[in-house]
Structure 1
Amino acid sequence: MIAFVLLIVALGCCLRFIAFRYKLYRTVGKVPGPPVNFIFGNALELMRYDTGELFDKLMEYFYRYGTIVRLDILTKCWMIFSSPTDLERIISSNEYNRKSNDYDILQEWLGNGILLDHGNSWFTNRRALTGAFHFKILDSYVPVFEEQADVLVRKLLATAGEPVDIFPIAKLYTLDVILETSMGVQCEAQIKDSEYVRAVSNLSHITFWRMYNPLGYSDWTFRWTKYYSVYRKSLQINREFTTSVIKKRRVELLATASDKDKPEKGRLSLLDILLRSDLTGRQFTDQEVYSQVNNFMFAGHDTTSSAITFILYCCAKYPDVQQRVYEEIIAEIPTGKPIDQQCINNLKYLELVIKESLRMFPPVPYYSRSIDKETTFNGIRMLKGSTITIGVYMMHHNPEYFPQPELFLPERFKQAEPRNPFSYIPFSAGSRNCIGQKFALNELKTVMAKVLRECKVELSDPDFVPKLKLELILKPVDGINLRFNPR
């Protein structure tokens, strides 16, 4: 009897799945995209590729099928848009404001922070957190950027011109910066080993693995992989460290509450701001603070380390560009002069170089939104649960918006060219744009000014071109080996 019931349930599930596949095929089957298998969609083809090969394959689809590409795997369907006109319609509508279900894997680590939250809760928290990026607070972070960049420069010069993969080195720098600015903690990740830093690195690596490996999609199948125990341990270390810092800082702020009318001393970390209802306009619980701090830790170190890596690669590949940047830095910030916000503002050519690097190598190569109800967009009927993906990398490399897109031309940003403003979105756009983009640009300018003032950067292989891999953050498959020689 039990076997018969199980058979009926299994048969029912199969029929429901086939009905869904038929409906999906009828609604989006004619949208441009690679050929699909009726049952598996594009799964059988895409599972043959690693993240590097998959990146190349998606670019092939873009060139073959245009600015709208359909992909589907079993019960999931992605519509990849890379037209600024479509992007403008997507971000202008509250109907597409919810982050894609693809990001649910991050939930246990990041909680309902600003990256994953949606609806009224997201709008309330976004408004409350805006104060954390007031220009006076951002100005106070510049010394942190500079102090940690000094440590980075010493590490690079200690390599004595030997080739080094810059990405993991840049990642430790950004971890030191984001820890001090978000939690007020000096971890010295660039100098010594740290259990917490290892835990954050493990969480990032395993999370990205889960997003692109079918064994990681489900919590049940993930339990049987080699990564599960490492993930649980790293999550525990992260939670204990962050929670202890939050509790300690809350006690300290309560102890000094009677002196709140005195002038503020020192710089405020993001944690301080979250714990101060007079600054945010609302009282955050410890769990909410924990989630928001982890969100900034996650968003603020991998993306910036990716940007640093590719900016230095571009400077090494184009020595004339590097020389011009160096001359500007020396003119504005001679050796021995501390960097302040005015110095950063005056580095005009460096800003063009950073913008062009972010165009060629956007740290976040795509953004995704979920469809909460069946809808029609641009004449395409999309089922509930489908995903709209914004192909940032594809858009940044479209010759219609950026002529000769594979050439590194900082001057293309010198004057406002007659292009759609939504064609360049390294920090996303609309209401869900990156809240910390000014923070990131200040950090990038500061670290580039310090490194390029003291070091001449060269490629270990003059003909090297990085192979890219498709993860949540744009990364080189085999790293980028650079030489750093003293000037």
Structure 2
Amino acid sequence: MGNMSVLYFVVQFAGYAFLLVSLLLLGIFAAYCLYVHYIHLKFDHIPGPPRDSFLLGHAPALDKAVKGYKVIHDKFLKWTETYGPVYRVNVLHRVMLVVSCADAVKEYLMSPKYPKDPYTYDLLFNLFGKRFLGKGLVTDADDDHWYKQRRIMDPAFSRMFLKGMVGVFNEKAECLMEKLEEKAESQSPVGMHFMFNCVTLDVIAKVAFGMDLNLLDDSETPFPHAISTCLKGVAQYIRNPYTMYMPWHWKFVKEVRNSAELLRKTGKECIENRKRIIKNGEEVPDDILTQILKSAEQEGDYDDEVMLDNFITFFIAGQETTANQLSFTVMELTKQPEIIKKLRFEVDDVIGSKREINYEDIGKLTYLSQVLKESLRLYPPAPGTARWIPKDTVIEGVQIPGGIAAIFSTYVMGRMEKCFKDPLKFDPGRFHPDAPKPYYCYFPFALGHRSCLGQTFSQMEAKVVMAKLLQRFELKLVPGQTFEIMDTGSLRPRDGVVCTVKCRVADCKGNT
């Protein structure tokens, strides 16, 4: 009888506890709904598309827009055409602006008053629980901390220092030319995006860290796969950070975590080994890592973890974006015979038949510069950036309450008629030295003090590779290739730019 009483008491207590927990959760949910309602009241005067639901906001539409690695900025462009240069996007309790007017770009990207959006970039500190980009140059939202890093990095990316790296650009580009010659002789199709990934990764590994990966020689290094996996992880993680808690994604999450761990482990070994060599007074490579370590020593204490964050940042940003730019450029040129004709005329005039392109030659390839810039306008590998607006302001006549993130998309503005006449036409003449400058409508490397540190490096490398390619080969897309874009954290050609390769001269070695 006593046991029955105890059991009755336990059951009754459990029932009350369940009721209390349910009421508590219901209260929390109700409070959250009230907060979301408050956010709506605060920001709903800003134009924007109708929300899909009260709580989810525009999340279902955005999720549909990115399914299959489609480009989210195409949705932003469509909404810009409908709702104007300033509109809001709601996701749960968060509101973001999408802004596409030149005056706002000038104000918010050029001024240090507006830091990077901490929510967006803090997501990349970790990747599914593994430290990834941390507080490196790209993700550091603290301007004071970022400035200290940038001061340490600047000497290693100066034009004077990079001038001495042109030999490496030539060496690695020549390896690519040799592989393409083999493909031409065997009449085998070649995935140009894969080849560009190999050569740009070879370059950044050698120039930045003194590492010889030799990926074009069929090296079995896991780096290319690790980088590609991490980028896919970034795309998934930004869209849904809770993926890691969903069992059906665990296999993918584990692969991403392992890839991030491999990159950080390799970076740690590389940095520690270089520090040991410097300490022992041994001869060190004159590369970016050595320059950074010297600058860090002059500046004083510099966090090893942050240095490792930048190792990952350089490896990914220094390789992926340039490879994608080169791939998009080749993809577009396969349907631009008149532009190719002009490019070859310039390359033949400046480079001739010589195999070593020097620093002075790079500066003379002005039409190639225009083509590369136009490629970045239509196909920017890094399509946008975000800034935090801390105080109330007005943009294009719209009152904007403070405490909101603003997205600025060079992809969107590059495809707007008000910024570029006939925007979908590939026209390098837009960037002729005498043409009107596209002020604050074009920012593939961002603008202002937070502009990309590696843009000079990237464009020097792209010019060397493209000049050699134009000098020696004719490329044609194989049937079935499309011009579609894929968004995996950066924009890349979806189909890999698979081409047939033909030598411009009898043996690709300059002998007609």
Question: Residue 182 of structure 1 aligns with which residue?
Answer: 208
Q: Trace 1:147-226 onto structure 2 (pairs within 5 A).
A: 147-160=171-184, 161-191=187-217, 192-212=219-239, 214=240, 216-217=241-242, 219-221=244-246, 225-226=250-251
Give the TM-score normalised by structure 1. Answer: 0.90
Q: 1:32 is matched by which residue type in structure 2?
A: P
Q: Trace 1:15-164 onto structure 2 (pairs within 5 A).
A: 15-36=30-51, 37-49=53-65, 50=67, 51-52=69-70, 54-107=72-125, 108-117=131-140, 118-160=142-184, 161-164=187-190
| Aligned-partner Cα distance in 2 for 1:399–1:48 | 26
Q: Does 1:435 align with 2:453?
A: yes
2:407 is paired with a residue whose SS is strand
Structure 1 position 339, deviation (Å): 1.2
Query: 1:291/1:46 Cα in 2 relative to 1: closer, same or farther (>3 Å)?
Result: closer
| Aligned-partner Cα distance in 2 for 1:296–1:223 | 32
Q: Does 1:292 align with 2:317?
A: no
2:64 is paired with a residue whose SS is coil
Preserved contact between residue 275 and residue 289 of structure 1 (Cα < 8 Å): no
| Aligned-partner Cα distance in 1 for 2:72–2:310 | 32
Question: Residue 251 of structure 1 aligns with which residue?
Answer: 276
Q: Trace 1:376-395 onto structure 2 (pairs within 5 A).
A: 376-378=393-395, 379-382=398-401, 384=403, 386-395=404-413
Q: 1:211 is matched by which residue type in structure 2?
A: I
Question: Residue 260 of structure 1 aligns with which residue?
Answer: none
Question: Residue 230 of structure 1 aligns with which residue?
Answer: 255
Moved more, 330-339 or 245-254: 330-339
Q: Deviations over 1:395-430 (max 9, x none)?
A: 112222211111111112113444552112111101
How many percent identity over aligned positions?
A: 25
Q: Trace 1:455-466 onto structure 2 (pairs within 5 A).
A: 455-461=473-479, 466=483
Question: Residue 480 of structure 1 aligns with which residue?
Answer: 497
Structure 1 position 448, deviation (Å): 0.4
Preserved contact between residue 377 and residue 414 of structure 2 (Cα < 8 Å): yes
Moved more, 61-70 or 182-191: 61-70
Question: Residue 463 of structure 2 aligns with which residue?
Answer: 445
Preserved contact between residue 24 and residue 383 of structure 1 (Cα < 8 Å): no
Query: 1:47/1:204 Cα in 2 relative to 1: closer, same or farther (>3 Å)?
Result: closer
| Aligned-partner Cα distance in 1 for 2:94–2:168 | 44
Question: Residue 330 of structure 1 aligns with which residue?
Answer: 348
| Aligned-partner Cα distance in 1 for 2:407–2:314 | 23
| Aligned-partner Cα distance in 1 for 2:247–2:208 | 31
Preserved contact between residue 163 and residue 359 of structure 2 (Cα < 8 Å): yes
| Aligned-partner Cα distance in 1 for 2:339–2:110 | 37
Q: Does 1:270 align with 2:285?
A: no
Structure 1 position 8, deviation (Å): 3.5
Query: 1:477/1:65 Cα in 2 relative to 1: closer, same or farther (>3 Å)?
Result: farther
Preserved contact between residue 274 and residue 280 of structure 1 (Cα < 8 Å): no
Q: Does 1:240 align with 2:249?
A: no
Preserved contact between residue 25 and residue 38 of structure 1 (Cα < 8 Å): no
Preserved contact between residue 152 and residue 296 of structure 2 (Cα < 8 Å): no
Question: Residue 9 of structure 2 aligns with which residue?
Answer: none
Query: 1:399/1:266 Cα in 2 relative to 1: closer, same or farther (>3 Å)?
Result: farther
Preserved contact between residue 231 and residue 488 of structure 2 (Cα < 8 Å): no
Q: 1:115 is matched by which residue type in structure 2?
A: V
- Structure 2 unmatched runs, 5+: 1-15, 126-130, 505-512
Q: Trace 1:338-353 onto structure 2 (pairs within 5 A).
A: 338-353=356-371
Q: 1:239 is matched by which residue type in structure 2?
A: R
| Aligned-partner Cα distance in 2 for 1:468–1:456 | 23
Q: 1:322 is matched by which residue type in structure 2?
A: I
Preserved contact between residue 275 and residue 284 of structure 1 (Cα < 8 Å): no
Q: Deviations over 1:312-352 (max 9, x none)?
A: 11222101211221121122112234111101111111111
1:52 is paired with a residue whose SS is coil
Question: Residue 305 of structure 1 aligns with which residue?
Answer: 323
Preserved contact between residue 153 and residue 450 of structure 1 (Cα < 8 Å): yes
Preserved contact between residue 486 and residue 493 of structure 2 (Cα < 8 Å): yes
- Structure 1 unmatched runs, 5+: 258-264
Q: 1:195 is matched by which residue type in structure 2?
A: P
Task: Select the structure of larger CA radius of gyration.
Answer: 2
Question: Residue 27 of structure 2 aligns with which residue?
Answer: 12
Structure 1 position 464, deviation (Å): 6.1
| Aligned-partner Cα distance in 1 for 2:296–2:98 | 42
Preserved contact between residue 482 and residue 495 of structure 2 (Cα < 8 Å): no
Structure 1 position 279, deviation (Å): 7.5
Query: 1:408/1:196 Cα in 2 relative to 1: closer, same or farther (>3 Å)?
Result: closer
Q: 2:174 is matched by which residue type in structure 1?
A: D
Query: 1:47/1:197 Cα in 2 relative to 1: closer, same or farther (>3 Å)?
Result: closer
| Aligned-partner Cα distance in 2 for 1:10–1:383 | 31
Query: 1:113/1:417 Cα in 2 relative to 1: closer, same or farther (>3 Å)?
Result: same
1:434 is paired with a residue whose SS is coil
Structure 1 position 280, deviation (Å): 5.6
1:422 is paired with a residue whose SS is coil
Q: 1:225 is matched by which residue type in structure 2?
A: W
Question: Residue 7 of structure 2 aligns with which residue?
Answer: none
1:334 is paired with a residue whose SS is coil
Query: 1:199/1:479 Cα in 2 relative to 1: closer, same or farther (>3 Å)?
Result: closer
Preserved contact between residue 68 and residue 80 of structure 1 (Cα < 8 Å): yes
Query: 1:224/1:360 Cα in 2 relative to 1: closer, same or farther (>3 Å)?
Result: closer
Preserved contact between residue 317 and residue 459 of structure 1 (Cα < 8 Å): no
| Aligned-partner Cα distance in 2 for 1:146–1:458 | 24
2:250 is paired with a residue whose SS is coil
